[in-house]
Chains A and B, each alone.
Chain A
Amino acid sequence: MSVIHQNLSTSISSSTSTFLGHNNLKSIKSSNVSIPGRISGVINCVATPSAEKTAYKTKVSRNENMGKLQAGYLFPEIARRRAAHMLKYPDAQVISLGIGDTTEPIPEVITSAMAKRSYALSTVEGYTGYGAEQGEKQLRAAIAKTYYENLGIEEDDIFVSDGAKSDISRLQVLFGSKVTMAVQDPSYPAYVDSSVILGQTGQFQKDVEKYGNIEYMKCTPENGFFPDLSAIRRTDIIFFCSPNNPTGYAASREQLTRLVEFAKENGSIIVFDSAYAMYISDDNPRSIFEIPGAKEVSMEVSSFSKYAGFTGVRLGWTAIPKELLYSDGFPVAKDFNRIVCTCFNGASNIAQAGGLACVSPEGIKAMHEVVGFYKENTDIIVETFNSLGFKVYGGKNAPYVWIYFPGQSSWDVFSEILEKTHVVTTPGSGFGPGGEGFIRVSAFGHRENVLEACRRFKQLYK
């Protein structure tokens, strides 16, 4: 089996389509690119005003929120560096444990359902046009039953989507620019970035590497990767991902109970990201709704991406309880429904057919097998770094291993690992200042690639 890096063509296109348009380093040198603000990986061959003073400009002001963003979104930046590395070393066998991209084929029970739906669309009886924006009834019911049985979350509380990333932005559109938010530090970058885009934040403060007006809840080895809630100021919204990307830490029942209490005291709304819940090994809660009182203060976002390998197929959901109300008593779900009807038009019907198969008994069994495979990968990576004497976190309840490199810049470590082992990881500071000094290694990969990568790590750090 090849150890050549997965998704070669897609990663190149991710970087070059934005980067150069023609996958050609020559173009960078020959164009005068001087775009205000540091934009990485998004350099187009555009002649800028400095080169052509007579170039036409509209009179439309750039959205200043976009100007606040510091760099490109994290993962295209990783893709860009991987692509550049591969150009530099065309014969190297690059292994990608960076972007958390699934690698194993989707179980047949799921793809055959999608194939079946595709064919059905070419028949008179089977053709369907617009679906309900909230998702197909059957699928909503099946998600409620599979993940929220006995938790009081019903079919009509479920909103099917094209994935968590899109949902997070639609939630930000829902909340608007006047809300304040808290995030774990480190955390999945989409929460912060979408907040900046929607105008909830102030400028980026270079000295602390934080955006103004966001409450960063530090999660480090010192506090067991759960924030010290007594030190956190009140915000309207609290983004909380558990198991956490990137630290891999899954909050305990007791901790989530405290989180819910904290939200209740402050009248805040928790947006609970449970995209990795199926990776939990021990008996930590899989859903925020397992905590009594959570329905009045939280909503939950989840995804089929990491369960069923649907990273390209695109399917997820958001659950909003009827009990979740704004300060004037208006139900949050009602406004979200309006957003979903106006700013979205439903997840692809074929993907939804796949989703229905995912939550069938056979599908759930198959998803557990795939998840189990990646968990074995995680064990191998954890064991490797443990044996090398590193302080290793995560890995038990998530497909990410969070490795401590004390006193070092995570981008430097990332570069060194890439240069010396041709393995792509993700630098912790990409997830927030609390990630500085850490490297995230993702456990998605073919078994032989993971084993080979670990061999190379052992070589480098022996």
Chain B
Amino acid sequence: MVNAVSCYFTKVERNANLERLQYNYLFPEISERELRHVKKYPNAKVISLGIGDTTEPLPEIIASSMADYARSLSTPQGYKGYGAEQGNKELRKAIAETFYKDMGIKDSEVFVSDGSQCDISRLQMLFGSNMSIAVQDPSFPAYIDTGVIIGQTGNYEKESGRYQNIAYMECGPENNFFPDLPKTARTDIIFFCSPNNPTGHASSREQLEQLVEFAQQNGSIIVYDSAYAVYITDGPRSIYEIPGARKVAIEVSSFSKIAGFTGVRLGWTVVPEELVYSNGFPVINDFNRIVCTCFNGASNIAQAGGLACLSSDGFKAVLSNVNYYKENAKILMNTFTSLGLRVYGGVNAPYVWVHFPGSNSWDVFNEILEKTHIITVPGSGFGPGGREFIRVTAFGHRENILEASERLRSFLS
């Protein structure tokens, strides 16, 4: 540790926006707690149903395509240097055809990236600090945290658990996990994740039509996060299934939870050409500029893997893992339901959202961890609307899911 008395300070002021952040980013905090718990109970078999980290191996067809591509980089014919910052042409085409068939999304509107968390930040850099944002409450913490970092928000208010200048759209059992839009203030940007992380709620077509209309009336831009769309059993997967969405929405998605690419790093953002600022300037032009200046493309090996994922055989294999996780979710849903708890999500998403009315989610998190050695995520990590809930992920080896279910049954009954 540096000696505080004699050490040198530069004259550069710390960015006040960073100072404004209240806690560590949620998921490293969960990791930290897991490590501490493991140290405390070295013999306990800790089961992690916390961070939404995929666990099943990649299908061979995909892994071998990446291995082949890597090897080809050692050959004169196969070597590739810088790729297009927007992504490999073939991959952009495959994404448009696989996920946006008949929705009028062009290859040129698809920007391949190294994942949603990076895309969200690049979108925030694009928008700048003078934007107002709305988020679902609860929601994936990156929307709020990047908003704070870029300078879109005011200070954190301890009593409410909210940052000033963000519109929090509550999503709970009372409103079927869809915000009361007529009561929502106008903001420039609306971050909307469906199926939602953490609640697991997938908005219906009618709800999304309401959302698009709301955005149109207010002249807002929706940033639609569809990272979990392949988990949907029934309902719209892309915002562009809704008429008019091309004029008001950007869609962000990822191979992480589709293909187990959490470590490989691959995703994409769609920016339709019709989406324009108040002065008529196309958003896509500025996003392209950001991508060319602040990024240098996703890893070409990861992109080769992405292409294999979207091949006919590759996609089948990938969906097989998705179904595996969906089965896990079913098992967890049944476990909690059988214990008389009110459980949400789990049907259209790999997350189960369990209600412990009147409780403080960190207390429940701690108790579950202490008594069953299972890591979950306390709902308040996703916003004040999550304070009485626990998020349990369905990513895990089947035997761990079953073991966890057993432990929870013993502990909670």
Contacts and interface: CB of A to CB of B under 8 A. Distances in A.
Interface string A168-181: 11000111111100
Contacts of A312: 73, 80-83, 297, 299-300
Contacts of A58: 219-221, 247-248, 275-278
Interface stretch (B7-15, B169-177, B233-241, B357-365): B7-15
A111 B107 CA distance: 30
A127 B295 contact: no
B273 interface: yes
A69 B294 contact: no
B141 to A, nearest CB: 8
B16 A42 contact: no
Given A58-B221, A169-B294, A197-B294, A343 B146 contact: yes
Interface residues of B, number: 117
B392 interface: no
Interface in B174-208: 188-189
A343 B143 CA distance: 10
Nearest to A446: B76
A335 interface: yes
Contact of A76 (B56, B146, B292): B292
Interface of A is mostly: loop
Given A17-B86, A59-B278, A105-B76, A343 B149 contact: yes
A18 interface: yes
B413 interface: no
Given A108-B74, A345-B118, A60 B220 contact: yes
A131 B53 CA distance: 10
Given A99-B82, A323-B8, A194 B220 contact: no
B299 to A, nearest CB: 4
B73 A346 contact: no
A21 B12 contact: no
A63 interface: yes
Contact of B25 (A55, A62, A341): A341
Given A56-B274, A58-B219, A322-B2, A36 B281 contact: yes
A66 interface: yes
Q: Is the interface of B mostly helix, strand, loop or mixed?
A: loop
Interface residues of A, number: 123
Given A176-B15, A236-B11, A59 B294 contact: no
Interface in A227-252: 236-237
B42 interface: no
B57 interface: yes
B67 to A, nearest CB: 4
Nearest to A322: B2
A343 B263 contact: no
Given A10-B84, A59-B218, A296-B8, A313 B150 contact: no
Given A58-B276, A60-B277, A338-B21, A21 B292 contact: no
Given A14-B86, A62-B281, 13 more contacts: A18-B86, A21-B107, A36-B281, A105-B73, A114-B70, A118-B63, A165-B293, A264-B8, A338-B24, A341-B27, A345-B114, A345-B117, A347-B265
Interface of A: 1, 6-7, 9-10, 13-14, 17-18, 21-22, 35-36, 39, 42, 44-46, 48-49, 55-66, 69, 72-73, 75-76, 99, 101-108, 110-112, 114-116, 118-119, 121-124, 126-131, 133, 162-163, 165-166, 168-169, 173-179, 190, 193-194, 197-199, 236-237, 264, 266-269, 296-297, 309, 311-314, 322-330, 335, 338-339, 341-351, 354, 444
19 contacts: A7-B82, A14-B85, A21-B106, A21-B107, A55-B276, A60-B278, A66-B289, A111-B70, A111-B73, A130-B51, A130-B53, A162-B296, A165-B293, A266-B11, A328-B9, A329-B9, A343-B121, A343-B142, A349-B265
